[in-house]
Amino acid sequence: DGGITQSPKYLFRKEGQNVTLSCEQNLNHDAMYWYRQDPGQGLRLIYYSQIVNDFQKGDIAEGYSVSREKKESFPLTVTSAQKNPTAFYLCASSIIWGGGTEAFFGQGTRLTVV
């Protein structure tokens, strides 16, 4: 079935370590997004990409990095520079051009830094 897959579902890391969250989609979508969600809050955009080998910063990109080497994959690295990395991370994808663009979300990765 077509969809978007995030892994792992839960991730624990020690403070100061970089960690990479995986996001894969088989929907042939051009656009992919990473969001952060804190308890009781909405989604905040970290990075987005509309084409392979290109990506743009969102509202809260500091302390994060991404790559888009393949259309299907958009991994997010949470670096040691991110001051408060514990959060729920969501990846999404969508088409860009056309009438109406439904976004598909992964099931999220809950990152806990201790």
Please give the residue ranges that form the binding site for another protein (CB under 8 A). 6, 31, 33, 35, 40-43, 45, 48, 50, 56, 58, 88, 90, 92, 94, 96-108, 110
Query: CB-side exposure of 44: number of CA atoms within 13 Å?
Result: 13
Running DSSP on this structure, what letter comes out for residue 70?
B
Nearest one of 93, 103, 110, 75 to 25, comparing CA atoms: 93
Residue with smaller CB distance to another protein, 2 or 40: 40
Shortest Cβ 67–another protein spacing (Å): 18
Rounded to whole angstroms, the Cα distance separating 30 from 103 reads: 11
Residue with smaller CB distance to another protein, 9 or 17: 9
Report yes or no: 32 and 16 within 8 Å, Cβ to Cβ.
no
Residue with smaller CB distance to another protein, 65 or 105: 105
Shortest Cβ 14–another protein spacing (Å): 23
